[in-house]
Copies of this chain bind each other. A is one copy, B any other.
Amino acid sequence: MQAIVAFTTIVGAANVLTQAAEVAPYCQDWRGRYHGSVMAVIRPATTDEVSKVVQYCHANHIYVIPQGGNTGHCGGAAPTQHTPAIILSLSRLNHIHCIDTENQTITVGAGCTLGQIQTIASQHDRLFPLSLAAEGSCQIGGNLSTNAGGVQVLRYGNMRDLTLGLEVVLPDGNVLNSLSGLRKDNTGLDIKQLFIGAEGTLGIITAATLKLFPAIKHQTTALISLASPSDAVQLLNAAQLQFGDRLTAYELISHICMGLVTQHIPGAKLPLSETNEWYVLMEVSDTWEHSPLTEMVESFLMNQTSVIDAVIAQSLQQTQALWTLRESISEAQKKDGLSIKHDISVPTSQMEHFIQVTSRILQEDQADYRLQIFGHLGDGNLHFNVGKAPESQLDLVPLEKHINHLVYEQVKQVNGSISAEHGIGQLKNNELPRYADPVKIALMQQIKQALDPQGIMNPGKVYPSSSAS
């Protein structure tokens, strides 16, 4: 086949995968929801090779599906029915270009894992703050393309906020070189913003210059019981006013989620009474090693009347035990059975109202639903998941669209988002017309048309399928 010969010339035979067994792992997302087929997986090692591969695809109308660590939740990196197509794996662009501690920046290839970048930063007494469950295997190109979030957004922002410069191979193979390490640069449109969160539909991010932060030298973690999400929001506000940027995580966990963790995760133990409805895991951090954080947190919590009970970690081991309660929720949910997941955000001032109303609507719909609510309350981001009661015979699979509809309609009521941090991919692109501003969708399509008139970049994702390719 002519295309395979051309790709082999560019990246070498060892990096053009065509055997079914080699290609298969790339053709399915990790949750096993999306499958497709491609003529080959191409593994370039340099930006120049990426550019040449894309040039060839552009000239021959071959669809290009960029793929990083393939850890996304919305099928954004999985093939669709569009043919002919290749998967373009960025895994071999895994070099740290340079770290500039004086400028507080690091420049990395798109295939570097998030964990790799965190480690290098830490070795230089700096922090790269993006932190999420897949950090060991997700790649920074994917984090950029989905504008990844995670537990530290409250303090450090999303991936977008951590990015100073990008190198991007455009749909025609041209290379945008905006690998700037500048914190202020107002020379015209900030073009790189287009590619962050575009899920590979406008081009392929090949490298990035990222912000580094001072390393954290002291940290205190507390688990707190509260009566309601409203109390949790008020405590959040009070904590922000006092701790300012020291507040680095503020996670809400419902009674039901906590129960799933203590039931399904060996060794997980709740150090507070199990009779409370809501829990908050709060972390405060400081670059100053002598900061009296523990005393500050103790005194703060004592003065908050909404706090029913609280425990402050007194050792690294206790800190890890508290974080295990939070970080095991997804695993505990999985062990408990299927749940219909919603990655949503709402203004924190609407949090109580949203949870109350949506919970009531769902319980009225089916008494057997069991709501598994947790998430990054500090960012207004909830994982509002719907499982079923133990022993219930309810089959959630055929109800998925119906449940999504019930939840998303309430999200819309409070001007929330149906995709807070996971993106759109092929999971939600056809939900957009109902939940996004039509003028925004029209603009998205104009931009797509301007940058990728052939529609070869990651087809069938992000844009509603009725209109854009």
With A244-B245, A349-B100, A439-B170 as contacts: A379 and B184 at CB distance below 8 Å? yes
Asked if residues A462 and B188 are in contact (CB atoms below 8 Å), the reply is: yes
Select A191's contact among B345, B420, B443, beta carbons within 8 Å: B443
Q: Which single residue of chain B is at the shortest CB-CB distance from A195? A: B189
Asked if residues A174 and B439 are in contact (CB atoms below 8 Å), the reply is: yes
Asked if residues A463 and B102 are in contact (CB atoms below 8 Å), the reply is: no
Select A186's contact among B125, B147, B174, B189, beta carbons within 8 Å: B147
A397 at interface, CB cutoff 8 A: no
Q: Which of chain B's residues have a CB closer than 8 A to the CB of A422?
A: 186
Q: Which of A216-243 contact B (CB under 8 A)?
A: 233-234, 237, 240-243
Q: Which of chain B's residues have a CB closer than 8 A to the CB of A350?
A: 103
A435 at interface, CB cutoff 8 A: yes
Select A345's contact among B185, B234, B288, B421, beta carbons within 8 Å: B185
Asked if residues A177 and B237 are in contact (CB atoms below 8 Å), the reply is: no
Q: How many residues of A contact B (CB 8 A)?
A: 94
A423 at interface, CB cutoff 8 A: yes
The 7 closest A-B pairs by CB, nearest first: A244-B287, A102-B349, A193-B193, A185-B417, A450-B450, A184-B420, A245-B245
Supply 17 A–B pairs (Cβ within 8 Å), ascending by A.
Answer: A101-B237, A102-B233, A104-B237, A125-B241, A177-B440, A183-B379, A183-B381, A184-B420, A184-B421, A185-B417, A186-B420, A186-B422, A188-B424, A194-B194, A214-B244, A288-B296, A446-B450
- The residues of A with any CB-CB pair to B shorter than 8 Å are 100-105, 125, 146-147, 149, 153-154, 157-158, 160-161, 170, 174-178, 180-191, 193-194, 196-198, 202, 213-215, 233-234, 237, 240-245, 286-288, 296, 345-350, 376, 379-381, 415-424, 428, 432, 435-437, 439-444, 446-447, 449-451, 462-463
